[in-house]
Amino acid sequence: MEPKTPSFALTLIACLLLLPLLSHAHVLHNSTSSPSSRVAFLQHLKGCHKGDKLKDIPKLKAYLHKFGYLDYTNQTSPSSNDYFDDHLENALKTYQANYHLNVTGAMDSATVASMMTPRCGVADIVNGTNYMQTRRRHGSTGRLHAVSHYSFFRGNPRWRASKTRLSYQILPGTPEEAVAPVARAFQTWAENTQFEFRRVGGDPGDDTVDIRVGFYSGEHGDGFPFDGVGRSVAHAFAPEDGRFHYDADESWGIRNPRAMDWETVALHEIGHLLGLDHSDVEEAIMFSIIRVGAVKGLNADDIQGIRALYNV
User: Could you state, in order of their start, the residue ranges of all structural domains in the chain?
Assistant: 1-33+118-312, 36-115
The architecture of the domain spanning 36-115 is Orthogonal Bundle (1.10)
Query: 248 versus 79: which is more confidently predicted?
Result: 248
Q: What is the pLDDT of residue 70?
A: 87
pLDDT tier at 228 (50, 70, 90 boundaries)?
confident
pTM above 0.75, yes or no: no
Residue 25: CB atoms within 10 A of its CB come to 20
Name beta bridge partners: 289. Answer: 119
CATH topology of domain 1-33+118-312: Collagenase (Catalytic Domain) (3.40.390)
Catalytic: 263?
no
Q: What is the pLDDT of residue 65?
A: 87
Query: 153 versus 33: which is more confidently predicted?
Result: 153
- Binding residues for Zn(2+), as ranges, are 120, 220, 222, 235, 245, 268, 272, 278, 286
pLDDT tier at 47 (50, 70, 90 boundaries)?
very high
- Binding residues for Ca(2+), as ranges, are 210, 227-228, 247, 250
Which one of 177, 191, 263, 269 is the catalytic residue? Answer: 269
- Binding residues, as ranges, are 120, 210, 220, 222, 227-228, 235, 245, 247, 250, 268, 272, 278, 286
| Mean predicted confidence (pLDDT) in 195-221 | 92
Q: Answer whether residue 13 shows pLDDT above 90.
A: no
Query: 53 versus 145: which is more confidently predicted?
Result: 53
Q: Answer whether residue 89 shows pLDDT above 70.
A: yes
